[in-house]
Amino acid sequence: MSARLVLASTSPYRRELLARLGVAFDMARPDVDETPAPGESPADLARRLAIAKATAVAAGRVAWVIGSDQVASLDGQPLGKPGNRERAIGQLQAMSGRAVAFHTGVCVTNGDQPRFALDTTVVRFRTLEAGEIARYVDRELPFDCAGSFKSEGLGITLFEAIETRDPTALVGLPLIETARLLRDAGFTLP
């Protein structure tokens, strides 16, 4: 298939992941309010936002659009992107010695019926000391990452284990499901 493909994101992490599939694509910033609805579970939030981002960018375009969103969940409560050093340190302190679920939704649509998949990855954090948390945050500056770490970088040193079907999901775009959804939409992948 030679249809136009658009990634509904400006994330460099998602761009790098999608490029691994060997398909040409453009990128567009989705204009979507990411505020959780009252009582919305983290998995439902990831689903709603992935679909909303894809459909928002698909509106008025002749293209297939991929939308994705990731919501970290500690004790059933969503953890957003920290945005600054203090909140990143606080998130990592809260996750120390605990298991955190990362729900990553992906949607592929051409404006019609959206195709959706969800991956849940569980990260088990080591018991972290205050000094190592501060050193990590100061070195990687993970302020734009759900959960305050970059698993593709030094963040991997914070873990005891990762339980997942798709290791790319933790970075922000589950490529196994994305490839399946693109094939279902008619794209030819290697």
The domain ranges of the chain are 5-184
**Residue 8: band (very low, low, confident or very high) from pLDDT cuts 50, 70, 90:** very high
Name the pTM for this structure: 0.91
Helices (H), the chain: 12-19, 42-58, 85-95, 130-140, 175-184
> What is the rounded CA–CA span in Å between residue 62 and residue 113?
14
Closest CA to 182 of 4, 60, 32: 4
Instruction: Answer yes or no: are the C-beta atoms of 39 and 48 closer than 8 Å.
Output: no
How is residue 148 written in tokens?
A: 């305050």
26 carries an active-site annotation: no
What's 142's DSSP letter? -
Instruction: Answer yes or no: are the C-beta atoms of 14 and 68 closer than 8 Å.
Output: yes
pLDDT of residue 145: 87
pLDDT digits (tens, 9 = 90+) for 30-66: 999 999 999 999 999 999 999 999 999 999 899 999 9
Handedness of CA 46, 47, 50, 55 (dihedral sign): negative
Mean pLDDT of 117-123: 97
Taking 70 as the threshold, does the pLDDT of residue 2 lie above it?
A: no
Residue among 69, 75, 119, 184 flagged as catalytic: 69
CATH architecture label of 5-184:
Alpha-Beta Complex (3.90)
